[in-house]
Structure 1
């Protein structure tokens, strides 16, 4: 185990045993579409999820924000958005289309390298603050910040927007989904290139977060976004996806690890919204409510925590 792989003292700060294996089960993309809202809110309310994050610029965000504001027990953060990746369903910045944050059609760019290459620092800072302010204005007790498609991490070209995010998180006294270890980042922002170089990037970022008092994670994991063999006779079935997820849970190590998923209703709306992996998102909805998931977590002695717990640590409320 390298120094970067070793857990921080976060479990102790949470009041857990030093060697505790703690996880946060998080659903990304609340508000992206109706299929997301209809899956995530009930899962969160039923305790199958620990938290979720809302994509404020998306068309179904008002519905998601209303649900979050109506139930203050829900642990809801803001999924900071700088990209709009689907072909037929897209969204624009809250700060308007006259900035460096849009493509030729006036939407957020579809890919992360375009954002890292073209976006101006001041435009990014203004947009991210606007997204957080909109959630707060809607009455949401925002628990934390994270990021859609890894567009602020600098994993594509090396140019990150972490200074803007960490400044915002520190000013609003919110934790941020930044892992200390590069392990797992290939599923966050695509090919991470040289792991040593990317770990150096994370080391610098985590030092900055620590200096600002922003609470961050030890690790950030998920399983593949795609459904292997989709559209063929050999496509993964639910049992295969479930087996892989249970293995992922069993491999959790000491420290605090967020495991993020994208549960949605696999219906006609979702099929028309996303370009791929609609069945996988339906499987993830089913997976989170599967009794075998809860049983595996219990059998492994894994502790579930939420982002409000981490926020309480940051704010000195523990």
Structure 2
């Protein structure tokens, strides 16, 4: 795919994607500012989240917004399904909210109910004026990371229907933490994506959501610089979870300091200069989406 986009096989092509648009207003503020500063190239919105409407109303076509498929709640913030026409007994707890543990979602979720809810999130985003660039998974809920029960087949058929790429790195097959059974499942899903014409990327990088902030900003910066230096040829998403600290963010996560560190990092002139000096090519998910649509002439509903 890298050559279809006009790059050389040895080029390192990067999408810098800000996850969790819509989770809080201070997150929206950070992400909007990062687009203005050319610090990121893409973002993905949590449609069921509290500040999603605020994010949609502020977004522009230049922002390149994907759908951050949200099927779980935060422990301090509960979300309900977007689709109101069906009672999703398999997706929600006794109070009608998404489970706050991915493992509970994996064990209980019905495939048809997942499909209906995810499509409702896509259609809601479109109705709010967003032209989705891709799909990805909040908290990895559809990847089968806990009980070896994934939902990627359902998602890939939606990717085909809406002509959207998906954020699953092919090099997940090289990851040492996955079992042979998990790798076999991912191998099968990657094959299905190829059959359906759903474009995938090569790799993922970036600081983990729970990275240690004991060394503060400089420690995080050192780790990010190391990851940028070690990027392999191909298309890599560098994932970030930026925000500005607010009372709302503090209520949501105990890692609120990390979120502001990430906001500052990608605006850091040293990081931007490193990307330039390393001759890393920056793109967004929009280029991949457009390639998928042009290559297969899929009808976009």
Q: Report how far residue 105 of structure 1 moved.
A: 2.7
Structure 1 residues 183 and 277, CA gap change in structure 2 (3 angstroms): farther
Q: Report how far residue 185 of structure 1 moved.
A: 6.7
The equivalent residue for 1:4 is none
Distance 1:304 1:14 in 2: 12
- Structure 1 consecutive aligned stretches of length 4 or more whose deviation exceeds 6 Å: 183-186
Q: Report how far residue 266 of structure 1 moved.
A: 1.4
**Equivalent residue pairs, number:** 294
The equivalent residue for 1:140 is 130
The equivalent residue for 1:291 is 269
Deviations 1:78-126 (A, max 9, x none): 101111123x222111124831111123211111111110010010000
- Match for 1:109 among 89, 99, 121? 99
The equivalent residue for 1:3 is none
Deviations 1:50-105 (A, max 9, x none): 1000000011000111112xx2211100101111123x222111124831111123
Unpaired runs of at least 5, structure 1:
1-9, 187-191
Distance 1:193 1:180 in 2: 13
Helix, strand or coil at the partner of 1:143: coil
Distance 2:148 2:183 in 1: 12
Distance 1:85 1:184 in 2: 30
RMSD (Å), alpha carbons: 1.8
Residue 36 of structure 2 is aligned to residue 45 of structure 1: yes
Correspondence 1:18-57 to 2 at 5 A: 18-57=9-48
Distance 2:167 2:158 in 1: 13
Distance 2:183 2:96 in 1: 34
Deviations 1:148-198 (A, max 9, x none): 011111121111111111000100111111111227979xxxxx542x333
Residue 203 of structure 2 is aligned to residue 215 of structure 1: no
State the TM-score, normalized to the length of structure 2: 0.93
Residue 275 of structure 2 is aligned to residue 307 of structure 1: no
Distance 1:111 1:222 in 2: 23
Contact 2:18–2:31 (Cα < 8 Å) also in 1: yes
Helix, strand or coil at the partner of 1:93: coil
Unpaired runs of at least 5, structure 2:
297-301
Distance 1:240 1:252 in 2: 19
Contact 1:75–1:308 (Cα < 8 Å) also in 2: yes
The equivalent residue for 1:93 is 81
The equivalent residue for 2:299 is none
